[in-house]
Structure 1
Amino acid sequence: MSPRRIDTGGRRVDRDRGIRFTFDGKPYSGHPGDTLASALLANGVTLFGRSFKYHRPRGVLTAGVDEPNALVTVLKGNIREPNIPATQLEIYDGLTVVSQNRFPSLSFDIGAANQLGGKLLGAGFYYKTFMGPVVGPLKGTRFWMFCEYFIRRAAGLGRAGYDKDSARYERTNAFCDVLVVGSGPAGLMAAKAAAQSGKRVILAELEPRFGGSANWSSETIDGMPAADWAQATIAELRERKNVRLLPRTTVWGYYDDNMLAALERVSDHKRDAAKGEPRHRYWSIRPGAVVLATGAFERPLVFPGNDRPGVMLAGAAERYAAEFGVLPGRKIAVFANNDGAYGTALALKKSGAEIVAIVDVRRQVSEAAHAAALSTGGEFLAGHAVVATEGGTKLSGVKVQIFDAATGALSGDPRSIDADCLIVSGGWSPVIHLASQAGVSPQWDDDRQAFLPPKPTQNWIGAGAFNGSFSTAAALSEGDAAGRQAAGETDGPAEELPNVDAPALQSNPAPVFEIRTSGKAFVDYQHDVTAEDVRLAHREGFVSVEHLKRYTTLGMATDQGKTSNVPGLAIMAEALGKPIPDVGTTRFRAPFAPVSIGSLAAERYGDLKPERLTPMHDWHIEHGATMYSAGLWYRPMIYGHSGETIEQAYVREAKAVREKAGIVDVSTLGKIAVQGPDAAEFLDRVYTNMFSTLAVGKARYGLMLREDGFVMDDGTTWRLGENDFLMTTTTANAGKVMQHLEYFLDVVWPDLKVHLTSVTDQWAGAAIGGPKAREILAACVTGTAVDNEAMPFMGIVHGEIAGVAVMICRLSFSGEMAFEVYCGAGHGTHVWKALLEAGKPFGLVPYGLEALGTLRIEKGHVTGAEIDGRTTGRDLHLDWMLSKKKPFIGSAMMDREGMTAEDRLQLVGIVSLDNRPLNGGGHIVEQANPEDPANSLGHITAACYSPALGKFIGLALVKGGKSRHGKRAFTSDPLRNRFGPVEIVSHHFFDPEGKRMHG
């Protein structure tokens, strides 16, 4: 028999079977259903880990997801998973676990020397200690630079591994009428009521066993033990086809439109997952209504030595006895500010423990509490407080002293009481995290000394301890009402409510959170934040709760302050001389509990980037194209001949376009249908230039700014009808532009009658450019002429190619006469082949993005490299497009002083004077000294070899660019060992008058 395993209780464990596992290399045994915490406690282990900063010995404080101390690392082969609460880790045969944050061992940790640092290691010590100058040999450097390596080595708790995670993860979506979160008495009644109404119900419980973590050992419901009633109700729900039960499932996020995120731990409790079984499953749940029956967390009391192994929350102690058949100690002392711990004391005595004392900060307690105290047989000390604990790495006793709850004053001499376990209760905090995520700030309740949920802003209903109703009878009643309300019923109860027989103990605590005396009293156990740290933050001016949190790191550990939040606020409130609600609380944010990154990626792991392929993709591959990704799309880089380098291929392709003709796949351009009576007005507001004056059958180049006046995107928009426009965007910005337009229609101008549709994937596009482009079109297009009269520059015509309807616009990105041909995506390859066949007599060649980039650099056209979020229309010499006749997005900000300064980076061309390649990203400098090039004037945005000029050229953004035309500078690129002279010129290298394009 294990040292603390008892004959009674243990409804979660199977005593007939044993499990072997190891902790820090030592073998132990437990039973199926045990957590690591319960199994180790049963074996007499009380030391589980070391604290973050002081390396103090720490034991188990809780029995659930709120555990701040007992964090361990699970080993599976070479895979390490740190910071797993021992209270949540179900044991299995072969489980291998190690403790954390200690060296060389858990029992002897040299890091414990940090405790000698005293106040030197208080809140913010690194800010105040390591920022001064270094003296001695390293004089002249900052002390932080010297200490940073050692501090970062010491930071953190568990150590992550480097091996690839071999587990499977899944994602799934679920829809239901009612989602019930939590399966305590309130949650069970809510699920039952909703299911009886015929609604589709999902019941999610973070524990392996339904029934919640309520301590029902001394309660009966309908004449049977409460735990048995819970299992009977679960059995009834299992029989219903409209109910889905999700054990081991933590609902961790509440998002807009009543969408909740949950994590199901499918196989963590198994040695090996079954074939095809995932480790975790991520659920996106979209219910019609939500019942939040998430219960409450018990709070500790703050007093010196409150973190010693052997100090445990009262509710946790009762759970270990009732659910696992494990006593947390043999000689137990109780310390409380409310009646709840008295029921725990009775339950533990019934389980075989000796209750040596009950210490209560209140001088007067209820008659039921007084009677319970006497029944335990232990010493009853009302109006007293625990002021210290005794022992080393485990508790051996406590010190108590007379205490005045009204003033916080201690009197008399402290005296010792022998005990190997101290259970504490500082009241209960409703688990309102999901409601806070879904709504607004919680509301303080003085009677319960706790924050209650805010008023709903989404479709949720609270029930039970979540609402601050801590009695089982109230939980059953509220759960039934919430379930019926969520199901849309407003009449009376569906059936008679269960009859509850429970001790008449009150739950409301006295407003006492801290016993203030000398010694370290911990508020946040995991981050070693003491009560004195909170007061120090106040003295140093960090009085906002958000500043308090960040300065002290209170509530920022993996437990997210589940046990420390309210005590920390109470201590700050006392320091400020304000009531707790005036101090406020931080908003709870998702996730409620840690979530594995693998579950978020799930099946997308290893393939996180979707591949978008144009309709002509297979043709490109078959004809020797080298593909690469451009944004999310795969596009041809070059169509290389045998033995060609990339440079030789793109130079050949670009030269062919200039001399004869080339064809390029432009299906990837963003395409947005803008339709409706106000479409033209909308485009006038979106673009910097006018579109309401554009004739039907014509296109216009447009420039789009962000609200701050910087350029966002450029492209052409075609007017296909009076109220029908086709907007094209750059490939990379298609999604961003769509979001931009939808935002302004939905939020800023909801009165405009405009409809937007992304049609990027509906159209295949090919651009033909070069001196022979018109002749090639004339050879294959039917149903329309393509001469200059029928299709002037920016003109649009409709016709057919090889029997397929096409739409053609004459526009150019290369500086050559060029045409963009669009057809339905399903006909893209057919039309592409027809164009190539018609172009054979004219020397038509396909070309890729490298040649496309070369052509655009020669012509001086801008793309994403120049439109980088920091450039204005004037910087890019597009000021001729900034209308003075109308307002538009960004017009109010574009004339700010900083946006029109003469020394802004402006677009220029650069020519290599040493006939060596230029590199994008290289700096432009004035000094000829590569060792000391001095300040940068700007940088190269794009570069290539120009077959039209026979030189290495590039585009750059340079301070005062236009005024530097004709001047010499230097490119400095130390990372690629490139330094050399360049000449700054106009960005229009080729055909600046546009004769070829407009010819």
Structure 2
Amino acid sequence: MTGEHRLARGGRVDRARPLRFTFDGHAYEGCQGDTLASALLANGVHLVGRSFKYHRPRGFLAAGAEEPNALCTVARDRARTEPNLRMTQVELYEGLVASSQNSWPARGFDLGAVNDLLSPLLGAGFYYKTFMGPRFVKGTTLWAKLFEPVIRRAAGLGVPPKEADPDHYANRFAHCDVLVVGGGAAGLAAALAAARAGARTILCDEGAEMGGALLCEPDATVDGMPAAAWVAATLAELARRGATLLPRTQGFGYYNHNFVALAQRLTDHLPHVPAGAPRERLWQVRAKRVVLATGAAERPLVFPDNDRPGVMLADAARAYLQRYGVKPGTQALVVTAHDAAYRTALALARAGVKIARIVDTRPRPAGPGLEAARAAGLPVTVGGTVVGTTGSLRVSGAMVAQASGTGATDFETVPCDLLLMSGGFTPAVHLFSQSRGKLRFDAETQRYLPGDPAQAQASVGACAGSWGLAAALDEGSAAGAAAAGSGAGRSHAVTGDHAGEGGGILGALPHGRDPARVKAFVDFQNDVTAKDIKLAVREGFRSIEHVKRYTTTGMATDQGKTSNMNSLAIAAGALGRTLPEVGLTTFRQPYTPVTFGTFAGAARDDLFDPVRRTPIHDLAAAQGARFEDVGQWKRAWYFPEAGEDLHAAVAREVRATRAVAGIFDASTLGKIEVVGPDAAEFLNRLYTNAWTKLAPGRCRYGLMLDEPGFVMDDGVVGRLGPDRFHVTTTTGGAPRVLNHMEDYLQTEFPELKVWLTSVTEQWAVIAVQGPRARDIVAPLVEGIDLSAQAFPHMAIREGRICGVPTRLFRVSFTGELGFEVNVPADYAAAVWQALWERTAALGGTAYGTEAMHVMRAEKGYVIVGQETDGTTTPDDLGLGGMVAMSKPDFVGKRSLARPDLVAPGRKQLVGLAIEGRTVLEEGAQITPTADPPVGTHAIGHVTSAYWSPTAGTPIALALVENGRARTGETVFVPMPGGAIAARVVGPVFHDPEGKRLNG
């Protein structure tokens, strides 16, 4: 036997298999089948951590997923360290190493407990208002300079690991006829009925063992078998019938069309994880019908100092006793508003725990529990209340009084080391609510229960408001049979049922004490008191969602499991409304915390964010290129020579390209083939300009709008033949443009005979730009006349280069004579090498994306997504001439006539000539004066800014209100060192006549 509080017999732990573990550096021993919580209780450990805000001593409140206090960090090694685990769900294994959280230097002596003394300053919403002033430095506050850093360092609970997660995670999609969530009595009965009817059945439960509360019922029988034996027989039959059984699996999210997400723990309970074995698995299940059997959570009572270690839910104490064979204390006071607590008191008394008193808050309770307690000689006080507790690191006594309306009469202190409370049970309706089912308020029992489901779903057992073993089994059986389409379920013979048990209370117990001097906790995890909720109401919060956020009650991982109904009742009382009038907060996914690894699965590193490299990547790297991330692509940023930084390298690349030539890897451009007899008409409807008269062998710059009329993408389109176009898009816009095309082709223009194919990966692109570009390309090309007359600007030809097929574009994004060489990706490296050798021989250069950006800005060429912001029209960019309003229609045409898109004062693209040598910051605001008064609105912003080696000055492009009309006007750009003056000019800084382009 392990632990001084372990019973010699009883429970479901294996005393013959002791397990050693450490907690906060101290060695303990538990049993196979223990949780960390039950093992610590067996060793007499009640203080397990400190609370979030006040750092008050905290112990175990519950025994399952609803536990708000007992959070720990479990460490297998430096990388495998996981914080904020509920000790009630951590399965014990040999060598487990766990530590408490939110305390320093130790949980028994925590300096952070000073917060409890400062609690008058740390009430609800203190972070919104307490430290917001006064301003003592221009633009700063006490909050920003002093308090905020301290608060941020103190915030949170556990410390996340700093190493990369070394574990593996799995993902599985599954379909079934019936999914049952919850493996208690109702869930087992539902799954069994469905499987017997031949339905494909999945049954999941969050526990290591299925059976739920049946595992805590040693005296109950089902169909003539002890409850635990019936569970084992049912699971065996389900396995024989092919049902999928998923223990350690939490149903955490219920989505549309009966899509339910399950998180399965696979190896966390093992002392040694097999190499390569997944730690957790995400099940994404689509079910014809779902049966929710998620049970109910016992409600705490709200009274002063109800958070001391040793204050526990009554049902949790019975679970520790009857499932784990642990006495959670030696002398217990039971305070209840529900009959179930009597069962706990009787069970503890039989196990040798002294019952100091049972205090029933109800004035006239009746039922077999009360009679049995009195028959067993247990002291019972009816119509009583508890007005506080005593003790430091563990409860040592409780102040019991006779309730009298709004307060409490004189109290007596009852010694105890365990205070058990029961305010009734709250159905776990989280998943039902997530499914968009409508909850209904039952006025008789004061509970929210599942109402009309929104999907093919049924709720059974305690989560549906039913009480008692027989009712749970029969409801589950009927629901399982109905879900499988086999009619009525069967009835079960049960002994040891407690169907008559009921009662409950909502809100705070009357205590008659000064609320400013005591704390009655509603939300244990977030340190929210009854006073906090009343304060929120006094400060004007009427919506329960606003009260929730202001006080943080029911937020974070708790999601209202233990706090929700009490907080609603207190808010309703303060507002003078009924609970239905106050409403209910939203239950969000996940029901319990789920690791990032489970969501990510195998999608990590390159599988999470794939790295795309062009076929020329390795050659660029060999030439010393530095790379930048552009979307998923690695693109050569610049090619530094010895001693050069970014700016020096870019300046050299620009000058060499404009003087001789440069080659650039443009393979990342999106490329789409549009093919079919209606291809030209299709493009006519997608782009602003006309395409039907574009001759084969010619190119056109295309501008694409979205439905609201804003610029979405641009690119050069080459016509290869009467029925074939080669469309280029921006690097980042390729997927979006293809999706846009597919969407309109399928939904708006289905009569057009057009086929769309992404060929981005098929064709590599090498841009050769500069005065000597023709001299570089011509000797390598076969079958194409490169003369200016035969191959003018904005033309496309097909032939061969270096002996391989090519689509050769005569286009330029630099303002120089230019060619874009498209070759099959497999041959790109060889073609690049040949072009590079000729470029280098002439004194040219390879250039990267930064030089490309500089040269295109010098020519005033826009980049969609940089010169546009999602509200930019063609006319704003000075491209109004590209809009063929004479066409019958194109996407976005009607929107261009909206009054706000043609109104005066819109921001227009202009150039900025900067005085001095300071390069502006992209995104910087533009103002009409150097020192505008407070409240002056900006008249524009900088979209692109570079040092121009060609001009020898800084240049910038900007969107400015009435920009074209402001030409010649001086504007100002506030910068960290002071406002910079700039003169509004046209956006073209280099070769405005285009002579170099047409060379």
TM-score range, shorter chain: 0.7 to 0.9
Contact 1:176 1:202 survives alignment (8 Å): no
1:752-831 equivalent positions in 2, closer than 5 A: 758-770=758-770, 793-798=793-798, 806-822=806-822, 825-826=825-826, 828-829=828-829
Deviations 1:105-131 (A, max 9, x none): 433445445445565543223444333
3-state DSSP of counterpart to 1:15:
strand
Contact 2:878 2:908 survives alignment (8 Å): no
Structure 1 residue 220 displacement after superposition: 1.0
For residues 613 and 9 of structure 1, do their structure 2 counterparts lie closer, same or farther at Cα, with a shift above 3 Å needed? same
Q: Specify the alignment match of 1:316 in structure 2.
A: 316
Deviations 1:27-82 (A, max 9, x none): 33222222222122222222223323333332211001111122233455667643
3-state DSSP of counterpart to 1:668:
coil
For residues 23 and 698 of structure 1, do their structure 2 counterparts lie closer, same or farther at Cα, with a shift above 3 Å needed? same
Instruction: Report the Cα distance in structure 2 between the residues aligned to 1:645 and 1:200, rounded to whole angstroms.
Output: 65
Q: Specify the alignment match of 1:489 in structure 2.
A: 485
Q: Specify the alignment match of 2:557 in structure 1.
A: 558
3-state DSSP of counterpart to 1:329:
coil
Q: Which range moves more in the overlay, 539-548 or 509-518?
A: 509-518
Q: Specify the alignment match of 1:20 in structure 2.
A: 20
- Name the aligned partner's letter for residue 445 of structure 1: D
Deviations 1:236-265 (A, max 9, x none): 44556x444433332323345554444333
Q: Specify the alignment match of 2:496 in structure 1.
A: 502
Q: Specify the alignment match of 1:577 in structure 2.
A: 576
Query: Are 2:942 and 1:942 equivalent residues in the alignment?
Result: no
Query: Are 2:449 and 1:452 equivalent residues in the alignment?
Result: yes
TM-score for both structures, normalised by structure 2: 0.85
- Name the aligned partner's letter for residue 473 of structure 2: L
Contact 1:661 1:771 survives alignment (8 Å): yes
Contact 1:297 1:430 survives alignment (8 Å): yes
Q: Specify the alignment match of 2:531 in structure 1.
A: 532
Aligned alpha-carbon RMSD (Å): 4.4
For residues 553 and 724 of structure 1, do their structure 2 counterparts lie closer, same or farther at Cα, with a shift above 3 Å needed? farther
Structure 1 residue 316 displacement after superposition: 0.8
Match of 1:471 among 468, 472, 477: 468
3-state DSSP of counterpart to 1:170:
strand
Instruction: Report the Cα distance in structure 2 between the residues aligned to 1:350 and 1:490, rounded to whole angstroms.
Output: 45
Query: Where in structure 1 are there 5+ consecutive unaligned residues?
Result: none
Query: Where in structure 2 are there 5+ consecutive unaligned residues?
Result: none
Structure 1 residue 326 displacement after superposition: 0.8
For residues 557 and 921 of structure 1, do their structure 2 counterparts lie closer, same or farther at Cα, with a shift above 3 Å needed? closer
For residues 598 and 779 of structure 1, do their structure 2 counterparts lie closer, same or farther at Cα, with a shift above 3 Å needed? same
Contact 2:921 2:942 survives alignment (8 Å): no
- Name the aligned partner's letter for residue 132 of structure 2: M
Q: Specify the alignment match of 2:435 in structure 1.
A: 438
- Name the aligned partner's letter for residue 489 of structure 1: G
Query: Are 2:231 and 1:230 equivalent residues in the alignment?
Result: yes
For residues 141 and 996 of structure 1, do their structure 2 counterparts lie closer, same or farther at Cα, with a shift above 3 Å needed? closer
Query: Are 2:346 and 1:346 equivalent residues in the alignment?
Result: yes
Contact 1:340 1:505 survives alignment (8 Å): no
1:5-404 equivalent positions in 2, closer than 5 A: 5-11=6-12, 13-75=13-75, 81-117=82-118, 119-133=120-134, 142-145=141-144, 147-149=146-148, 152=151, 155-160=154-159, 163-165=162-164, 167-177=166-176, 178-196=178-196, 201-214=201-214, 215-238=216-239, 242-256=242-256, 258-287=258-287, 289-403=289-403
Q: Specify the alignment match of 2:459 in structure 1.
A: 462
Deviations 1:479-523 (A, max 9, x none): 34444555x533454xx5543223243354345443233343221
3-state DSSP of counterpart to 1:158:
coil
For residues 803 and 471 of structure 1, do their structure 2 counterparts lie closer, same or farther at Cα, with a shift above 3 Å needed? farther
Instruction: Report the Cα distance in structure 1 between the residues aligned to 2:146 and 2:837, rounded to whole angstroms.
Output: 70
Q: Specify the alignment match of 1:514 in structure 2.
A: 508
Structure 1 residue 564 displacement after superposition: 0.4
Contact 1:100 1:157 survives alignment (8 Å): no
For residues 195 and 514 of structure 1, do their structure 2 counterparts lie closer, same or farther at Cα, with a shift above 3 Å needed? same
Contact 2:333 2:420 survives alignment (8 Å): yes
Instruction: Report the Cα distance in structure 2 between the residues aligned to 1:721 and 1:818, rounded to whole angstroms.
Output: 23
Structure 1 residue 168 displacement after superposition: 1.5
Structure 1 residue 662 displacement after superposition: 4.8
3-state DSSP of counterpart to 1:532:
helix
- Name the aligned partner's letter for residue 941 of structure 1: S
For residues 619 and 402 of structure 1, do their structure 2 counterparts lie closer, same or farther at Cα, with a shift above 3 Å needed? same
Equivalent residue pairs, number? 980
Instruction: Report the Cα distance in structure 2 between the residues aligned to 1:890 and 1:547, rounded to whole angstroms.
Output: 43
Instruction: Report the Cα distance in structure 1 between the residues aligned to 2:479 and 2:696, rounded to whole angstroms.
Output: 59
Contact 2:183 2:211 survives alignment (8 Å): yes
Structure 1 residue 277 displacement after superposition: 3.6
Contact 1:339 1:505 survives alignment (8 Å): no
For residues 526 and 648 of structure 1, do their structure 2 counterparts lie closer, same or farther at Cα, with a shift above 3 Å needed? closer
Q: Which range moves more in the overlay, 720-729 or 554-563?
A: 720-729
Q: Which range moves more in the overlay, 328-337 or 312-321?
A: 328-337
Contact 1:912 1:951 survives alignment (8 Å): no
Structure 1 residue 959 displacement after superposition: 4.5
- Name the aligned partner's letter for residue 908 of structure 1: G
TM-score for both structures, normalised by structure 1: 0.85
Structure 1 residue 140 displacement after superposition: 11
Q: Specify the alignment match of 2:913 in structure 1.
A: 910
Deviations 1:287-346 (A, max 9, x none): 555443322222112223322322211221111011110122233333333333333333
For residues 725 and 25 of structure 1, do their structure 2 counterparts lie closer, same or farther at Cα, with a shift above 3 Å needed? same
Query: Are 2:543 and 1:544 equivalent residues in the alignment?
Result: yes
Deviations 1:11-42 (A, max 9, x none): 0x221233333334443322222222212222
Q: Specify the alignment match of 2:862 in structure 1.
A: 862
Query: Are 2:426 and 1:423 equivalent residues in the alignment?
Result: no
Instruction: Report the Cα distance in structure 2 between the residues aligned to 1:370 and 1:753, rounded to whole angstroms.
Output: 81
Instruction: Report the Cα distance in structure 2 between the residues aligned to 1:748 and 1:531, rounded to whole angstroms.
Output: 58
Q: Specify the alignment match of 1:3 in structure 2.
A: 4
Instruction: Report the Cα distance in structure 2 between the residues aligned to 1:38 and 1:599, rounded to whole angstroms.
Output: 27
- Name the aligned partner's letter for residue 561 of structure 1: G
Instruction: Report the Cα distance in structure 2 between the residues aligned to 1:122 and 1:972, rounded to whole angstroms.
Output: 41
Q: Specify the alignment match of 2:613 in structure 1.
A: 613
Identical amino acids, percent of aligned pairs: 45
3-state DSSP of counterpart to 2:374:
helix
Structure 1 residue 225 displacement after superposition: 1.8
3-state DSSP of counterpart to 1:44:
coil
For residues 898 and 413 of structure 1, do their structure 2 counterparts lie closer, same or farther at Cα, with a shift above 3 Å needed? farther
Instruction: Report the Cα distance in structure 2 between the residues aligned to 1:29 and 1:223, rounded to whole angstroms.
Output: 37
Query: Are 2:637 and 1:637 equivalent residues in the alignment?
Result: yes
Instruction: Report the Cα distance in structure 1 between the residues aligned to 2:274 and 2:578, rounded to whole angstroms.
Output: 54
3-state DSSP of counterpart to 2:306:
coil
Q: Specify the alignment match of 2:853 in structure 1.
A: 853
Q: Which range moves more in the overlay, 660-669 or 66-75?
A: 660-669
For residues 752 and 152 of structure 1, do their structure 2 counterparts lie closer, same or farther at Cα, with a shift above 3 Å needed? farther
Deviations 1:431-487 (A, max 9, x none): 23233333255333334433234644455443333333333333333434444555x
Instruction: Report the Cα distance in structure 2 between the residues aligned to 1:675 and 1:475, rounded to whole angstroms.
Output: 63
Instruction: Report the Cα distance in structure 2 between the residues aligned to 1:443 and 1:740, rounded to whole angstroms.
Output: 43
Instruction: Report the Cα distance in structure 2 between the residues aligned to 1:679 and 1:372, rounded to whole angstroms.
Output: 86
Structure 1 residue 571 displacement after superposition: 1.8
For residues 846 and 10 of structure 1, do their structure 2 counterparts lie closer, same or farther at Cα, with a shift above 3 Å needed? same
